Chains A and B, each alone.
Chain A
């Protein structure tokens, strides 16, 4: 295996002289990908909504804007496209604009500029239709069946991206599953905040087995997707740590790392899924009236994620990428604890 950690010396890696655009670099994963590429000697440019402080060229703007997209790909060799609207709720049109239109614009710009490689960062939820996933491979994305606005829009975008794949313009979709790590606002912060507030139940005793991905591993897999484009193009690859754990144990581990009490009570999954639907609708309605601004405490999608098994067969992914995760789950939790200690 040829995986290189983030510690590789600048300018000495396999990416010397290759110019790569990374979109969505203000998020935890986008930032990690840009950093890893930079560390491996790629010439990195990032595009994101918010300004970032980074030792590489960065642009601000929306991928859905054709002019921004054209400027962003100019002079590049490859694109890693992470920019997306990620939320459990929100207006469908917003998801269409960022996730579907944005992807289409960026691909059009890249093709126009004559770029050769395009890594589309996707999500296993594009092929998760509410039932358990037990040791499965990456199924086909299906916008009609995917659950929730985010998954549905990502499914449509992935279909669009992979349809463009050809020997001249190579597209690979990498689907990291539940990415977490220090500084993560999507999973870790939510878990910790809710646990601290005492409003985080386990569903069905937290026994559902789920795969997750430590952020460094997800970043490595995405970079490997670029480096192994010969093998990966045309495919959708689910990436995880390959260490399924019971969700209760995982949440317990995160809480322990952050120094907060783990959830002590359990709610039946069916109840949470039902309640999630109701809360989700109420929250959306309230949000439309400006009464609430944050994410709802429970949604049907989240309830499904927390009460059904979803873990994957990683053999094909690891063979295609010629890669294995470098940070184990337990090591990841230790780094998370270290992060909270320093805060």
Chain B
């Protein structure tokens, strides 16, 4: 048998290969049958460590792969990191019978046989001690079948792109063709099409030698019989002979109480997110990580070994805390547990049920306003909640809201909060692709959207029962409902609720668990794919309280909500909220006139606006009438978050709103806000290394995790002045966790009690925080770690420079610093800066402590979509590296 396995396979040690003759008790085999198994086993590596294995990973491949798929787990099981985390793991990765290099039995083995085969194998191998089952593809189902039967030794479950319930299962067109009865035998057995299509799913493509290794056991038609039989054994209907066995596994795992980890490639055309959601519902304790961009062969696309062993160490070692809920372990994020003084988000609304004063106002594009009183808003929220509940929206259900800010969105948000449903809010500014990824990642049960969003949902196959945010015109309603696949409309649901209320039936809502998930908010996606950030009701309430205490936003305040994240807090704050007429996907569409009109509608005392919006407001300020200027003079507070603001812009804003305190809080989707500073504070701070963002807001603490010479973050928190490192924050309003990103969450909460922001900066002697840039933007030069912000500010002081970004090119520790400069007017073609300008920028940057290797000009900086202001330095760095190694100076 061993002679049929040529060596070497890339990534496989020769001594891992073992074979075993296993007496078979499977129904398909006659009495006394023995089957020959081939498997990979790192037993010798474990012995060589001189340590006892902490347990065994039993890895089961799917179709049409083999144990080769698990080679990184075998290698990682005795790595120094794994040993340090608790000890070595034994890894046994089988080749199922008729697959890989195990025996070709000449039988048709069904699911029931295969689960029994695996039990026969582990019995013969004498596998004792704690076992974690690991599976992929149909091997996931078989591994779970084994898990159900071996609960006494089961210590955990790890699953990758698999499914236990194939309802609605459909194959991609290429495989459907290959499996059509007319061509099935040809597709799976006679030809190697099925193998080649599966291997072709890898993202990025497999290396030639790896592809050859996957193909190796299946080179001839006779060796591929198992591949065809496996496919024929997929039970698509209850009539299928394997349906009963499947049903037993899929219902049996509901009672597995061991820790579970699911690592998923969401680009898988077969085992898509719907099966992940199905599995997560069956194993609610599971930690989930979706590798954005990875596909079916997630083991090939990403490093699953390092996170798997980190997870195992945290969850499956004797004595490690067994998490029975996905939130228990992740909630370590912030330390601060606000046990006292919890006031629900709906408290203010409930208290003002009889209040006829204005609560919310929309500025309509065609002119005029629409408004609701507190009493009306409270009533609409309850009516809508009742209607939504009728449709099946209950506590814990996820509801994606694709509705622009305004009264409709506000009503929906508070109705969902009332029900304990989890709102999923992704900014349309992410663009269709980013939005699509975000929604698929969050996996909502319901999706409520305006026409355009519903069309997108249909087109891109977004999950969730669809609900239209607005009624359709009667003439087209039926057609549109059918075309968009809409189950109901919001006005209709609200009317249903109203009918119940008017009929005199008291509608009651159960109290909502403040520590259950309440919202999934998506990050801007300025650094990689947007991430879902989970908030509980308690943490949302803490965000409200922080804003209230920091800015003294009392009931009676009236605010212009030109910045979406704060808009949803208006009714919770008891503040009258007006939504200006603007395209919320593009903040810079807010004009001075639109702002002043909104302010006039409510006699605004507070304005929330993003920096990009303020830039446009100032650019259009000349249009304002005297009356509008008078309205702006009544504003007491202007709050602008999202990106740093220059003093020059703030001084202009001050002229427009002469009586307002101008505040620029610092924060992120995961913690909003963290610190605050006002214009006098910015002036007092003066110039320094970075942008001074002030002192922590009410309830928040800030610390710094220092960096080593290569820029790696040390696992310690200091508040010492002048130490540059990653900015850490702890506050009751910090996120609960990242959504379905277990690895990202583990990384962000790595320093106990703190959330790692990914920003770098330092605290000064007065306790003010200075932000020096993003952690991934630091330069590790031969002269030490450098942060780019101060050098960029210096470069921007050179005449003719509009914006500058300083990035590192080359290996960590010896990077060369490069300034990428946008000039005024902009250049048409990117390239080296002319000698004179280069010399000036060089001198300025060197004076700020960063000598430059090169100065490049660019026509336009790449920025993120939400704020139009954050420069994507990672992209610039890759571009600069390419340009400066002689490559084409194309677009970054």
What is the interface of chain A, defined by CB distance below 8 A to chain B?
A: 132, 134-136, 203-209, 242-246, 248-249, 252-253, 256, 269, 307-309, 311, 313-315
Contact = CB atoms under 8 A, between A and B. Distances in A.
Interface of B: 782, 809-811, 813-816, 831-832, 835, 838, 851, 853-854, 856, 881, 883-889
3 tightest A-B contacts by CB?
A: A135-B810, A309-B885, A208-B886
A256 B839 CA distance: 13
Given A207-B831, A313-B782, A313-B814, A245 B886 contact: no
A136 B811 CA distance: 8
Given A206-B832, A207-B889, A249-B832, A135 B853 contact: no
B832 A135 contact: no
Contacts of B816: 135, 209, 244, 311
B783 to A, nearest CB: 10
Contacts, number: 76
B881 A134 contact: yes
A304 to B, nearest CB: 9
Nearest to B887: A204
B892 to A, nearest CB: 14
A315 B710 CA distance: 13
Contacts of A309: 884-886
A150 to B, nearest CB: 22
Contacts of A307: 886
A244 B810 CA distance: 11
A209 B782 contact: no
B819 to A, nearest CB: 12
A123 to B, nearest CB: 20
B832 A205 contact: yes
B886 A135 contact: no
A48 B267 CA distance: 68
B832 A246 contact: yes
A132 B782 CA distance: 20
Nearest to A256: B835
Nearest to B853: A244
Contact of A209 (B831, B884, B888): B884
B879 to A, nearest CB: 12
Contacts of B889: 205, 207
Nearest to A313: B814
A245 B810 CA distance: 13
Contacts of B782: 242, 313-315
A269 B886 contact: yes
21 contacts: A132-B885, A134-B811, A135-B810, A135-B815, A203-B886, A204-B886, A207-B883, A208-B886, A209-B884, A242-B782, A243-B853, A244-B853, A245-B853, A249-B832, A253-B835, A269-B886, A309-B885, A309-B886, A311-B816, A311-B853, A313-B782
B841 to A, nearest CB: 12
Contacts of A311: 810, 816, 853
B884 A208 contact: yes
Contacts of B854: 209, 244-246, 249
B885 A248 contact: no
A243 B818 CA distance: 12
Contacts of B886: 132, 203-204, 207-208, 269, 307-309
Contacts of A249: 832, 835, 838, 854
Given A134-B809, A315-B782, A246 B835 contact: no
Given A249-B838, A309-B885, A314-B782, A134 B832 contact: no
B778 to A, nearest CB: 16
A209 B887 CA distance: 11
Contacts of B884: 207-209, 246, 309
A208 B885 contact: yes
Nearest to A134: B810
A134 B885 contact: yes
Given A135-B815, A207-B884, A269-B886, 15 more contacts: A135-B811, A136-B811, A203-B886, A204-B886, A204-B888, A208-B886, A209-B854, A209-B884, A246-B854, A249-B854, A252-B835, A256-B835, A311-B816, A313-B782, A315-B813
Contacts of A208: 884-886
Could you say which of A209, A256, A308 has the most chain B C-beta atoms within 10 Å of its C-beta?
Answer: A209
A245 B854 CA distance: 6
B735 to A, nearest CB: 37
Contacts of A209: 809, 816, 853-854, 884-885
Contact of B814 (A205, A243, A246, A314): A314
Nearest to B883: A207
Contact of A315 (B814, B851, B883): B814
A141 B886 CA distance: 24
A309 B811 CA distance: 13
A256 B838 CA distance: 15
A253 B815 CA distance: 23
A315 B889 CA distance: 30
B833 to A, nearest CB: 9
A204 B887 CA distance: 7
Nearest to B833: A249
A204 B854 CA distance: 15
A134 B815 CA distance: 9
Nearest to B885: A309
Contacts of B814: 135, 313-315
A94 to B, nearest CB: 31
A323 to B, nearest CB: 14
A205 B890 CA distance: 13
Nearest to A135: B810
Contacts of A269: 886
B383 to A, nearest CB: 64
B717 to A, nearest CB: 29
Contacts of B888: 204
A208 B831 CA distance: 11
Contacts of A206: 832
A83 B220 CA distance: 63
Contacts of B838: 249
A109 to B, nearest CB: 39
Could you say which of A203, A307, A313 has the most chain B C-beta atoms within 10 Å of its C-beta?
Answer: A313
B834 to A, nearest CB: 9
Nearest to A315: B782
A245 to B, nearest CB: 6
A136 B810 CA distance: 9
A249 B884 CA distance: 12
A242 B781 CA distance: 11
Contacts of B881: 134
Contacts of B809: 134, 209
A200 to B, nearest CB: 16
Contacts of A314: 782, 814
B180 to A, nearest CB: 48
Contacts of A256: 835
A204 B884 CA distance: 10
Could you say which of A132, A135, A252 has the most chain B C-beta atoms within 10 Å of its C-beta?
Answer: A135
A308 to B, nearest CB: 5
Nearest to A318: B782
B813 A313 contact: yes
A161 B759 CA distance: 50
A205 B835 CA distance: 14
B882 to A, nearest CB: 10
Contacts of A203: 886
Nearest to B782: A315
B710 to A, nearest CB: 11
